[in-house]
Structure 1
Amino acid sequence: MATHKILLAEDELALGTIVKESLETRGFDVVFCGDGEEAKTQYTAQKPELLVLDVMMPKKDGFTLVKEIRQMDEHIPIIFLTAKSRTEDVVEGFGYGANDYVKKPFSMEELIVRIKALLDRKSGQNNGSESVEIGQYSFNFAKQTLTYKGSDQMLTHREAQLLQALYEHKNELTDRSLILNTLWGNDDFFNARSMDVFITKLRKKLAQDEQIQILNVRGYGYKLVC
Protein backbone atom coordinates (compact mmCIF):
# COMPACT_ATOMS: atom_id res chain seq x y z
CA MET A 1 0.00 0.00 0.00
CA ALA A 2 1.43 3.39 -1.03
CA THR A 3 2.21 5.89 1.72
CA HIS A 4 0.52 9.25 1.39
CA LYS A 5 2.63 12.31 2.20
CA ILE A 6 0.84 15.00 4.20
CA LEU A 7 2.07 18.48 5.05
CA LEU A 8 0.90 19.57 8.51
CA ALA A 9 1.30 23.22 9.55
CA GLU A 10 0.39 24.01 13.15
CA ASP A 11 2.06 26.56 15.44
CA GLU A 12 1.00 24.81 18.67
CA LEU A 13 3.90 22.40 19.10
CA ALA A 14 2.10 20.03 21.47
CA LEU A 15 -0.97 19.72 19.27
CA GLY A 16 1.09 19.44 16.10
CA THR A 17 3.22 16.69 17.59
CA ILE A 18 0.14 14.71 18.65
CA VAL A 19 -1.46 15.05 15.22
CA LYS A 20 1.79 14.12 13.46
CA GLU A 21 2.34 11.02 15.58
CA SER A 22 -1.29 9.94 15.28
CA LEU A 23 -1.22 10.22 11.49
CA GLU A 24 2.08 8.35 11.32
CA THR A 25 0.61 5.45 13.30
CA ARG A 26 -2.03 5.23 10.53
CA GLY A 27 0.65 4.91 7.87
CA PHE A 28 0.88 8.50 6.65
CA ASP A 29 4.20 10.23 5.95
CA VAL A 30 3.92 13.59 7.73
CA VAL A 31 5.99 16.73 7.20
CA PHE A 32 5.40 18.99 10.23
CA CYS A 33 5.91 22.77 10.11
CA GLY A 34 5.46 25.37 12.82
CA ASP A 35 4.66 28.44 10.73
CA GLY A 36 3.29 29.48 7.37
CA GLU A 37 6.59 30.43 5.75
CA GLU A 38 8.19 27.09 6.61
CA ALA A 39 5.07 25.35 5.29
CA LYS A 40 5.40 27.18 1.96
CA THR A 41 9.04 26.13 1.68
CA GLN A 42 8.30 22.50 2.57
CA TYR A 43 5.34 22.38 0.19
CA THR A 44 7.66 23.28 -2.69
CA ALA A 45 10.39 20.88 -1.57
CA GLN A 46 8.35 17.86 -0.45
CA LYS A 47 5.45 17.79 -2.97
CA PRO A 48 2.83 16.48 -0.49
CA GLU A 49 -0.47 14.94 -1.58
CA LEU A 50 -2.60 16.79 0.97
CA LEU A 51 -2.26 19.80 3.28
CA VAL A 52 -3.56 20.19 6.84
CA LEU A 53 -3.15 23.84 7.82
CA ASP A 54 -3.87 25.87 10.91
CA VAL A 55 -5.56 29.19 10.08
CA MET A 56 -3.75 31.34 12.67
CA MET A 57 0.00 30.89 12.24
CA PRO A 58 3.01 33.21 12.66
CA LYS A 59 4.93 34.64 9.68
CA LYS A 60 2.19 33.62 7.21
CA ASP A 61 -1.42 32.81 8.11
CA GLY A 62 -3.30 29.88 6.62
CA PHE A 63 -5.51 32.00 4.34
CA THR A 64 -2.49 33.70 2.76
CA LEU A 65 -0.68 30.39 2.39
CA VAL A 66 -3.61 28.72 0.64
CA LYS A 67 -4.04 31.68 -1.68
CA GLU A 68 -0.39 31.38 -2.74
CA ILE A 69 -0.50 27.60 -3.10
CA ARG A 70 -3.65 27.72 -5.21
CA GLN A 71 -1.77 29.89 -7.70
CA MET A 72 0.63 26.96 -8.18
CA ASP A 73 -1.69 23.99 -7.69
CA GLU A 74 -5.46 24.09 -8.17
CA HIS A 75 -5.99 20.47 -7.19
CA ILE A 76 -4.14 19.50 -4.02
CA PRO A 77 -6.66 18.80 -1.21
CA ILE A 78 -6.47 21.25 1.69
CA ILE A 79 -8.01 20.96 5.15
CA PHE A 80 -8.07 23.90 7.56
CA LEU A 81 -7.73 23.46 11.31
CA THR A 82 -9.48 26.42 12.88
CA ALA A 83 -10.47 27.59 16.33
CA LYS A 84 -12.55 30.33 14.76
CA SER A 85 -16.30 30.03 15.01
CA ARG A 86 -17.44 32.99 12.92
CA THR A 87 -19.19 31.89 9.75
CA GLU A 88 -17.34 34.54 7.75
CA ASP A 89 -13.98 32.95 8.56
CA VAL A 90 -15.06 29.50 7.42
CA VAL A 91 -16.56 30.86 4.21
CA GLU A 92 -13.41 32.94 3.61
CA GLY A 93 -11.31 29.78 3.89
CA PHE A 94 -13.38 27.98 1.27
CA GLY A 95 -13.23 31.08 -0.90
CA TYR A 96 -9.44 30.89 -0.97
CA GLY A 97 -9.60 27.26 -2.08
CA ALA A 98 -9.79 25.01 0.98
CA ASN A 99 -11.63 21.71 0.47
CA ASP A 100 -12.64 21.08 4.08
CA TYR A 101 -12.19 22.34 7.63
CA VAL A 102 -12.04 20.83 11.11
CA LYS A 103 -12.90 23.00 14.09
CA LYS A 104 -10.77 22.81 17.23
CA PRO A 105 -11.03 20.92 19.46
CA PHE A 106 -11.39 17.88 17.23
CA SER A 107 -10.97 14.13 17.45
CA MET A 108 -8.20 12.44 15.48
CA GLU A 109 -10.76 10.03 14.07
CA GLU A 110 -12.68 12.91 12.54
CA LEU A 111 -9.53 14.36 10.96
CA ILE A 112 -8.42 10.99 9.61
CA VAL A 113 -11.85 10.31 8.08
CA ARG A 114 -11.77 13.66 6.31
CA ILE A 115 -8.20 13.12 5.08
CA LYS A 116 -9.03 9.69 3.69
CA ALA A 117 -12.19 10.98 2.02
CA LEU A 118 -10.28 13.72 0.18
CA LEU A 119 -7.49 11.36 -0.87
CA ASP A 120 -10.04 8.82 -2.12
CA ARG A 121 -11.82 11.49 -4.16
CA LYS A 122 -8.52 12.69 -5.60
CA SER A 123 -7.63 9.14 -6.57
CA GLY A 124 -11.04 8.65 -8.15
CA GLN A 125 -10.37 11.49 -10.57
CA ASN A 126 -7.85 9.28 -12.35
CA ASN A 127 -10.31 6.50 -13.09
CA GLY A 128 -11.74 8.06 -16.22
CA SER A 129 -11.03 10.75 -18.76
CA GLU A 130 -14.28 11.20 -20.69
CA SER A 131 -15.64 14.69 -21.20
CA VAL A 132 -19.30 15.68 -21.15
CA GLU A 133 -20.99 18.62 -22.80
CA ILE A 134 -22.56 21.34 -20.68
CA GLY A 135 -23.98 23.82 -23.15
CA GLN A 136 -21.03 25.06 -25.19
CA TYR A 137 -18.57 23.86 -22.55
CA SER A 138 -16.77 20.54 -22.35
CA PHE A 139 -16.37 19.32 -18.76
CA ASN A 140 -13.74 16.73 -17.85
CA PHE A 141 -14.15 15.63 -14.25
CA ALA A 142 -10.97 13.53 -14.18
CA LYS A 143 -8.82 16.41 -15.40
CA GLN A 144 -10.91 19.04 -13.57
CA THR A 145 -11.19 21.21 -16.66
CA LEU A 146 -13.87 23.29 -18.34
CA THR A 147 -13.19 23.94 -22.02
CA TYR A 148 -14.90 26.70 -23.99
CA LYS A 149 -14.04 27.11 -27.67
CA GLY A 150 -10.63 25.53 -27.17
CA SER A 151 -9.75 27.50 -24.04
CA ASP A 152 -9.33 25.55 -20.79
CA GLN A 153 -10.23 26.66 -17.28
CA MET A 154 -8.96 24.67 -14.32
CA LEU A 155 -11.42 23.76 -11.59
CA THR A 156 -10.58 23.10 -7.98
CA HIS A 157 -11.28 19.67 -6.54
CA ARG A 158 -14.48 20.83 -4.83
CA GLU A 159 -15.67 22.83 -7.85
CA ALA A 160 -15.34 19.74 -10.05
CA GLN A 161 -17.20 17.61 -7.52
CA LEU A 162 -20.04 20.10 -7.25
CA LEU A 163 -20.36 20.58 -11.00
CA GLN A 164 -20.39 16.81 -11.48
CA ALA A 165 -23.20 16.47 -8.94
CA LEU A 166 -25.24 19.16 -10.67
CA TYR A 167 -24.55 17.68 -14.10
CA GLU A 168 -25.75 14.24 -13.01
CA HIS A 169 -29.13 15.87 -12.33
CA LYS A 170 -29.05 18.49 -15.08
CA ASN A 171 -32.34 20.24 -15.79
CA GLU A 172 -33.68 18.73 -12.56
CA LEU A 173 -33.85 20.03 -9.02
CA THR A 174 -30.95 18.75 -6.95
CA ASP A 175 -31.59 18.52 -3.23
CA ARG A 176 -29.33 20.88 -1.29
CA SER A 177 -28.99 18.50 1.67
CA LEU A 178 -28.08 15.62 -0.62
CA ILE A 179 -25.15 17.55 -2.11
CA LEU A 180 -23.98 18.76 1.30
CA ASN A 181 -24.11 15.32 2.89
CA THR A 182 -22.40 13.69 -0.10
CA LEU A 183 -19.58 16.19 -0.62
CA TRP A 184 -19.16 17.91 2.76
CA GLY A 185 -20.25 15.12 5.08
CA ASN A 186 -23.15 17.01 6.68
CA ASP A 187 -25.59 19.82 5.90
CA ASP A 188 -24.87 22.24 8.73
CA PHE A 189 -24.99 26.01 8.34
CA PHE A 190 -21.24 26.45 7.81
CA ASN A 191 -21.11 23.89 5.01
CA ALA A 192 -24.22 25.39 3.39
CA ARG A 193 -22.54 28.80 3.31
CA SER A 194 -19.39 27.31 1.80
CA MET A 195 -21.42 25.57 -0.91
CA ASP A 196 -22.96 28.93 -1.83
CA VAL A 197 -19.42 30.25 -2.37
CA PHE A 198 -18.63 27.42 -4.78
CA ILE A 199 -21.92 27.87 -6.65
CA THR A 200 -20.97 31.52 -7.23
CA LYS A 201 -17.56 30.46 -8.53
CA LEU A 202 -19.12 27.95 -10.94
CA ARG A 203 -21.58 30.53 -12.25
CA LYS A 204 -18.67 32.82 -13.12
CA LYS A 205 -16.77 30.05 -14.86
CA LEU A 206 -19.82 29.09 -16.93
CA ALA A 207 -20.80 32.68 -17.74
CA GLN A 208 -19.54 32.64 -21.35
CA ASP A 209 -22.54 30.54 -22.38
CA GLU A 210 -25.62 32.62 -21.58
CA GLN A 211 -27.87 29.57 -22.00
CA ILE A 212 -26.38 27.93 -18.90
CA GLN A 213 -27.87 28.78 -15.52
CA ILE A 214 -27.47 27.42 -12.01
CA LEU A 215 -30.78 28.29 -10.40
CA ASN A 216 -31.24 28.54 -6.65
CA VAL A 217 -34.62 27.11 -5.69
CA ARG A 218 -35.08 28.53 -2.20
CA GLY A 219 -35.82 25.93 0.43
CA TYR A 220 -34.89 23.01 -1.80
CA GLY A 221 -31.68 23.17 -3.77
CA TYR A 222 -30.13 23.93 -7.13
CA LYS A 223 -30.89 23.27 -10.76
CA LEU A 224 -28.33 23.23 -13.59
CA VAL A 225 -30.12 24.38 -16.73
CA CYS A 226 -28.28 23.69 -19.98
Structure 2
Amino acid sequence: MDAASRVGFVAKAPRPRDPSSRSLRPPRPRGGAPRARITRRRYVRHRGRPPRAVQTSRGVVVETILVVEDDPAISLGLQKNLRYEGFEVLSATRGDEGLQTALEKQPDLIVLDVMLPNLSGFEVCKTLKRNEVDIPIIILSAKDQEIDKIMGLDLGADDYLTKPFSVRELIARINAVLRRKKRYEKELETFSFGDVEIDFTARTIARNGTTLELSPREFDLLAFFVRHPNEVIDRRQILNKVWGYDYYGTARTIDNFVTKLRQKLEPDVRKPAHFVTVRGVGYKFVP
Protein backbone atom coordinates (compact mmCIF):
# COMPACT_ATOMS: atom_id res chain seq x y z
CA MET A 1 0.00 0.00 0.00
CA ASP A 2 1.39 3.40 -1.00
CA ALA A 3 1.55 6.51 1.18
CA ALA A 4 -1.46 8.19 -0.44
CA SER A 5 -3.70 5.18 0.22
CA ARG A 6 -2.67 4.96 3.89
CA VAL A 7 -3.88 8.52 4.63
CA GLY A 8 -7.15 8.04 2.78
CA PHE A 9 -6.91 10.18 -0.37
CA VAL A 10 -5.63 10.01 -3.92
CA ALA A 11 -3.95 13.06 -5.47
CA LYS A 12 -5.59 14.27 -8.67
CA ALA A 13 -4.24 16.49 -11.42
CA PRO A 14 -6.03 19.88 -11.55
CA ARG A 15 -8.94 20.10 -13.99
CA PRO A 16 -8.27 22.44 -16.97
CA ARG A 17 -10.27 25.67 -16.87
CA ASP A 18 -11.04 28.46 -19.32
CA PRO A 19 -8.57 31.26 -18.37
CA SER A 20 -11.22 33.97 -18.86
CA SER A 21 -13.76 32.35 -16.48
CA ARG A 22 -12.18 33.40 -13.19
CA SER A 23 -10.97 36.50 -11.41
CA LEU A 24 -7.32 37.29 -11.97
CA ARG A 25 -5.04 35.84 -9.31
CA PRO A 26 -1.59 34.20 -9.23
CA PRO A 27 -1.76 30.85 -11.06
CA ARG A 28 -1.76 27.70 -8.96
CA PRO A 29 1.09 25.24 -9.49
CA ARG A 30 0.11 22.50 -11.90
CA GLY A 31 1.80 19.78 -9.89
CA GLY A 32 3.40 18.18 -12.91
CA ALA A 33 0.20 16.90 -14.50
CA PRO A 34 1.07 14.38 -17.23
CA ARG A 35 0.84 15.73 -20.78
CA ALA A 36 -1.36 12.82 -21.80
CA ARG A 37 -4.19 14.15 -19.59
CA ILE A 38 -4.62 17.28 -21.76
CA THR A 39 -7.62 16.41 -23.93
CA ARG A 40 -8.18 17.48 -27.52
CA ARG A 41 -11.08 19.70 -26.41
CA ARG A 42 -8.81 21.56 -24.00
CA TYR A 43 -6.19 22.01 -26.70
CA VAL A 44 -8.68 23.51 -29.15
CA ARG A 45 -10.01 25.99 -26.56
CA HIS A 46 -6.54 27.00 -25.46
CA ARG A 47 -5.68 28.23 -28.95
CA GLY A 48 -8.03 31.15 -28.34
CA ARG A 49 -9.97 33.29 -30.75
CA PRO A 50 -8.82 34.43 -34.21
CA PRO A 51 -6.59 37.54 -34.31
CA ARG A 52 -8.53 40.80 -33.94
CA ALA A 53 -7.77 42.12 -37.43
CA VAL A 54 -9.33 45.47 -38.30
CA GLN A 55 -9.31 47.64 -41.43
CA THR A 56 -7.56 50.98 -40.91
CA SER A 57 -5.85 53.64 -43.00
CA ARG A 58 -2.68 51.57 -42.50
CA GLY A 59 -4.37 48.52 -44.04
CA VAL A 60 -5.49 45.42 -42.13
CA VAL A 61 -3.83 45.31 -38.72
CA VAL A 62 -4.25 43.33 -35.50
CA GLU A 63 -5.46 45.37 -32.52
CA THR A 64 -2.67 45.81 -30.00
CA ILE A 65 -2.96 46.20 -26.22
CA LEU A 66 -0.10 47.52 -24.07
CA VAL A 67 -0.13 46.13 -20.50
CA VAL A 68 1.85 48.26 -18.03
CA GLU A 69 1.88 46.30 -14.75
CA ASP A 70 4.72 45.55 -12.30
CA ASP A 71 3.10 42.52 -10.63
CA PRO A 72 4.38 39.51 -12.62
CA ALA A 73 1.38 37.29 -11.84
CA ILE A 74 -1.17 39.91 -12.87
CA SER A 75 0.82 40.93 -15.95
CA LEU A 76 1.25 37.37 -17.22
CA GLY A 77 -2.39 36.57 -16.52
CA LEU A 78 -3.55 39.62 -18.44
CA GLN A 79 -1.29 38.89 -21.38
CA LYS A 80 -2.51 35.29 -21.56
CA ASN A 81 -6.18 36.27 -21.49
CA LEU A 82 -5.79 39.11 -23.99
CA ARG A 83 -3.96 36.86 -26.44
CA TYR A 84 -6.73 34.29 -25.95
CA GLU A 85 -9.17 37.02 -27.07
CA GLY A 86 -7.15 37.60 -30.27
CA PHE A 87 -5.23 40.75 -29.33
CA GLU A 88 -1.56 41.34 -29.96
CA VAL A 89 -0.01 42.20 -26.59
CA LEU A 90 2.92 44.40 -25.56
CA SER A 91 4.07 44.66 -21.95
CA ALA A 92 6.12 46.85 -19.62
CA THR A 93 6.84 46.66 -15.89
CA ARG A 94 7.96 50.26 -15.19
CA GLY A 95 6.24 53.56 -15.80
CA ASP A 96 9.03 55.05 -17.91
CA GLU A 97 9.27 51.86 -19.96
CA GLY A 98 5.51 51.87 -20.55
CA LEU A 99 5.61 55.52 -21.64
CA GLN A 100 8.42 54.86 -24.11
CA THR A 101 6.66 51.79 -25.53
CA ALA A 102 3.42 53.73 -25.96
CA LEU A 103 5.18 56.53 -27.84
CA GLU A 104 7.15 54.18 -30.10
CA LYS A 105 4.58 51.43 -30.80
CA GLN A 106 1.31 53.45 -30.67
CA PRO A 107 -0.90 50.58 -29.41
CA ASP A 108 -4.68 50.65 -29.81
CA LEU A 109 -5.24 50.71 -26.02
CA ILE A 110 -3.23 50.79 -22.79
CA VAL A 111 -4.06 48.88 -19.60
CA LEU A 112 -2.18 50.93 -17.01
CA ASP A 113 -1.43 50.20 -13.35
CA VAL A 114 -1.06 53.21 -11.03
CA MET A 115 1.63 52.08 -8.57
CA LEU A 116 4.61 51.62 -10.89
CA PRO A 117 8.40 51.95 -10.40
CA ASN A 118 10.15 55.10 -11.69
CA LEU A 119 6.98 56.80 -12.95
CA SER A 120 3.43 56.40 -11.63
CA GLY A 121 0.54 55.46 -13.88
CA PHE A 122 -1.01 58.88 -13.25
CA GLU A 123 2.19 60.54 -14.52
CA VAL A 124 2.28 58.28 -17.58
CA CYS A 125 -1.34 59.16 -18.36
CA LYS A 126 -0.72 62.88 -17.86
CA THR A 127 2.39 62.87 -20.07
CA LEU A 128 0.64 61.04 -22.91
CA LYS A 129 -2.35 63.37 -22.89
CA ARG A 130 -0.16 66.48 -22.57
CA ASN A 131 1.62 65.40 -25.76
CA GLU A 132 -1.76 64.73 -27.44
CA VAL A 133 -1.10 61.01 -27.82
CA ASP A 134 -4.63 59.83 -28.60
CA ILE A 135 -4.49 56.29 -27.17
CA PRO A 136 -7.36 55.05 -24.97
CA ILE A 137 -6.28 54.20 -21.41
CA ILE A 138 -7.90 51.92 -18.82
CA ILE A 139 -6.39 52.40 -15.36
CA LEU A 140 -6.04 49.46 -12.94
CA SER A 141 -5.53 50.33 -9.30
CA ALA A 142 -5.94 49.06 -5.75
CA LYS A 143 -6.91 52.65 -4.89
CA ASP A 144 -10.68 52.51 -4.70
CA GLN A 145 -11.40 55.94 -3.22
CA GLU A 146 -13.61 58.27 -5.24
CA ILE A 147 -10.90 60.97 -5.33
CA ASP A 148 -8.44 58.54 -6.98
CA LYS A 149 -10.96 57.57 -9.65
CA ILE A 150 -11.77 61.20 -10.35
CA MET A 151 -8.05 62.04 -10.60
CA GLY A 152 -7.40 59.26 -13.10
CA LEU A 153 -10.36 60.21 -15.29
CA ASP A 154 -9.52 63.92 -15.11
CA LEU A 155 -5.97 63.15 -16.27
CA GLY A 156 -7.39 61.61 -19.44
CA ALA A 157 -8.06 57.94 -18.68
CA ASP A 158 -11.06 56.47 -20.50
CA ASP A 159 -11.98 54.02 -17.73
CA TYR A 160 -10.92 53.05 -14.19
CA LEU A 161 -11.10 49.55 -12.72
CA THR A 162 -10.21 48.69 -9.11
CA LYS A 163 -8.32 45.60 -7.97
CA PRO A 164 -9.19 42.79 -7.50
CA PHE A 165 -11.07 42.62 -10.77
CA SER A 166 -12.71 40.12 -13.09
CA VAL A 167 -10.88 39.41 -16.33
CA ARG A 168 -14.20 39.14 -18.13
CA GLU A 169 -15.21 42.59 -16.91
CA LEU A 170 -11.87 44.07 -17.99
CA ILE A 171 -12.17 42.55 -21.47
CA ALA A 172 -15.75 43.85 -21.74
CA ARG A 173 -14.53 47.33 -20.82
CA ILE A 174 -11.68 47.08 -23.35
CA ASN A 175 -14.14 46.13 -26.09
CA ALA A 176 -16.44 49.02 -25.13
CA VAL A 177 -13.60 51.57 -25.26
CA LEU A 178 -12.39 50.22 -28.61
CA ARG A 179 -15.93 50.42 -30.04
CA ARG A 180 -16.11 54.10 -29.09
CA LYS A 181 -12.73 54.67 -30.72
CA LYS A 182 -13.85 52.94 -33.93
CA ARG A 183 -17.01 55.05 -34.12
CA TYR A 184 -14.88 58.18 -33.93
CA GLU A 185 -12.47 56.91 -36.59
CA LYS A 186 -15.35 55.91 -38.85
CA GLU A 187 -16.51 59.52 -38.90
CA LEU A 188 -13.16 60.37 -40.49
CA GLU A 189 -13.17 57.67 -43.19
CA THR A 190 -13.77 60.37 -45.78
CA PHE A 191 -13.22 64.12 -45.73
CA SER A 192 -13.47 66.92 -48.25
CA PHE A 193 -12.42 70.55 -48.39
CA GLY A 194 -12.54 72.87 -51.36
CA ASP A 195 -12.23 70.68 -54.45
CA VAL A 196 -10.26 67.98 -52.58
CA GLU A 197 -11.71 64.61 -51.50
CA ILE A 198 -9.84 62.27 -49.13
CA ASP A 199 -10.52 58.56 -48.54
CA PHE A 200 -8.61 57.61 -45.39
CA THR A 201 -9.42 53.90 -45.66
CA ALA A 202 -8.04 53.60 -49.19
CA ARG A 203 -5.43 56.33 -48.56
CA THR A 204 -6.38 58.09 -51.78
CA ILE A 205 -6.85 61.78 -52.63
CA ALA A 206 -8.68 63.30 -55.58
CA ARG A 207 -8.94 66.89 -56.75
CA ASN A 208 -11.72 67.77 -59.16
CA GLY A 209 -12.13 64.03 -59.74
CA THR A 210 -8.46 63.50 -60.63
CA THR A 211 -6.45 61.20 -58.35
CA LEU A 212 -3.34 62.80 -56.86
CA GLU A 213 -0.12 61.07 -55.91
CA LEU A 214 1.02 61.74 -52.33
CA SER A 215 3.91 60.06 -50.57
CA PRO A 216 3.04 58.10 -47.39
CA ARG A 217 4.52 60.88 -45.24
CA GLU A 218 2.62 63.59 -47.12
CA PHE A 219 -0.61 61.66 -46.59
CA ASP A 220 0.10 61.20 -42.86
CA LEU A 221 0.80 64.93 -42.50
CA LEU A 222 -2.42 65.79 -44.33
CA ALA A 223 -4.38 63.36 -42.12
CA PHE A 224 -2.92 65.01 -39.01
CA PHE A 225 -3.98 68.46 -40.20
CA VAL A 226 -7.49 67.21 -41.02
CA ARG A 227 -7.87 65.81 -37.51
CA HIS A 228 -6.96 69.21 -36.01
CA PRO A 229 -8.94 71.74 -38.05
CA ASN A 230 -8.55 75.44 -37.21
CA GLU A 231 -5.96 74.66 -34.53
CA VAL A 232 -2.59 76.40 -34.34
CA ILE A 233 -0.03 73.57 -34.23
CA ASP A 234 3.66 74.14 -33.57
CA ARG A 235 6.31 72.42 -35.68
CA ARG A 236 7.73 70.28 -32.87
CA GLN A 237 4.28 68.85 -32.18
CA ILE A 238 3.89 67.97 -35.85
CA LEU A 239 7.28 66.24 -35.88
CA ASN A 240 6.40 64.22 -32.78
CA LYS A 241 2.99 63.12 -34.02
CA VAL A 242 3.72 62.46 -37.70
CA TRP A 243 7.41 61.52 -37.77
CA GLY A 244 7.61 60.00 -34.28
CA TYR A 245 9.24 60.87 -30.98
CA ASP A 246 12.52 59.25 -31.97
CA TYR A 247 12.90 61.49 -35.06
CA TYR A 248 15.36 64.34 -34.67
CA GLY A 249 14.44 66.47 -37.65
CA THR A 250 14.24 70.24 -37.86
CA ALA A 251 11.52 72.79 -38.55
CA ARG A 252 12.75 72.89 -42.13
CA THR A 253 11.50 69.32 -42.60
CA ILE A 254 7.94 70.42 -41.82
CA ASP A 255 8.20 73.47 -44.06
CA ASN A 256 9.29 71.37 -47.03
CA PHE A 257 6.38 68.95 -46.69
CA VAL A 258 3.81 71.72 -46.18
CA THR A 259 5.12 73.34 -49.37
CA LYS A 260 4.51 70.06 -51.23
CA LEU A 261 0.95 69.85 -49.88
CA ARG A 262 0.29 73.43 -50.96
CA GLN A 263 1.56 72.74 -54.46
CA LYS A 264 -0.80 69.79 -54.82
CA LEU A 265 -3.87 70.96 -52.90
CA GLU A 266 -4.04 74.77 -52.74
CA PRO A 267 -5.98 76.74 -55.39
CA ASP A 268 -3.27 79.43 -55.27
CA VAL A 269 0.13 78.37 -53.92
CA ARG A 270 1.20 82.02 -53.44
CA LYS A 271 -1.87 82.73 -51.28
CA PRO A 272 -2.55 79.52 -49.33
CA ALA A 273 -6.11 79.31 -48.01
CA HIS A 274 -5.98 75.90 -46.31
CA PHE A 275 -2.43 75.41 -45.00
CA VAL A 276 -1.85 78.72 -43.28
CA THR A 277 1.47 79.75 -41.72
CA VAL A 278 1.29 81.10 -38.16
CA ARG A 279 4.45 83.16 -37.89
CA GLY A 280 6.81 82.10 -35.11
CA VAL A 281 4.69 79.06 -34.17
CA GLY A 282 3.73 76.66 -36.95
CA TYR A 283 0.66 76.07 -39.09
CA LYS A 284 -3.13 76.04 -39.05
CA PHE A 285 -5.33 73.94 -41.32
CA VAL A 286 -8.47 75.76 -42.49
CA PRO A 287 -10.94 73.43 -44.29
State yes or no: 1:72 paired with 2:131.
yes
- Other-structure match for 1:30: 89
Q: Which amino acid aligns with 1:32?
A: S
Whole-Å separation in 2 of the counterparts to 1:144 and 1:80: 26
- Other-structure match for 1:57: 116
Root-mean-square deviation (CA, aligned residues, Å) is 2.2
Contact 2:66 / 2:109 at 8 angstroms: preserved in 1? yes
Give the SS at the match of 1:94: helix
Whole-Å separation in 2 of the counterparts to 1:74 and 1:91: 20
Q: How many matched pairs?
A: 139
Give the SS at the match of 1:51: strand
Q: TM-score of the superposition, structure 1-length normalised? A: 0.57
Match of residue 14, structure 1, among 60, 73, 76: 73
Mapping 1:123-162, distance limit 5 Å:
123-129=182-188, 150-151=230-231
> Percent same amino acid among aligned pairs?
35
Structure 1 residues without counterparts, runs of 5 or longer:
132-142, 154-226
Give the SS at the match of 1:98: coil
- Other-structure match for 2:171: 112
Larger radius of gyration: 2
Match of residue 88, structure 1, among 147, 159, 163: 147
Q: Which amino acid aligns with 2:115?
A: M
State yes or no: 1:97 paired with 2:120.
no
The structure-2 alpha-carbon separation of the partners of 1:17 and 1:52, relative to structure 1 and needing over 3 Å to count, comes to same
* 1:145-188 C-alpha deviation (Å, 9 max, x unpaired): 6x7xx4479xxxxxxxxxxxxxxxxxxxxxxxxxxxxxxxxxxx
- Other-structure match for 2:103: 44
Q: Could you tell me how far 1:72 is from its partner in structure 2?
A: 2.4
Q: TM-score of the superposition, structure 2-length normalised? A: 0.45
Flag the structure with more relative contact order, 1 or 2, with Cα contacts below 8 A and sequence separation at least 6: 1
Structure 2 residues without counterparts, runs of 5 or longer:
1-51, 54-61, 192-225, 234-287
The structure-2 alpha-carbon separation of the partners of 1:144 and 1:82, relative to structure 1 and needing over 3 Å to count, comes to farther
* 1:65-115 C-alpha deviation (Å, 9 max, x unpaired): 001111223531100001101111110101110010111111110000000
- Other-structure match for 1:121: 180
The structure-2 alpha-carbon separation of the partners of 1:87 and 1:28, relative to structure 1 and needing over 3 Å to count, comes to same
Whole-Å separation in 2 of the counterparts to 1:152 and 1:113: 37
Whole-Å separation in 1 of the counterparts to 2:118 and 2:171: 27
Give the SS at the match of 1:8: strand
After TM superposition, what 4+ stretches of structure 1 lie above 6 angstroms from structure 2?
none
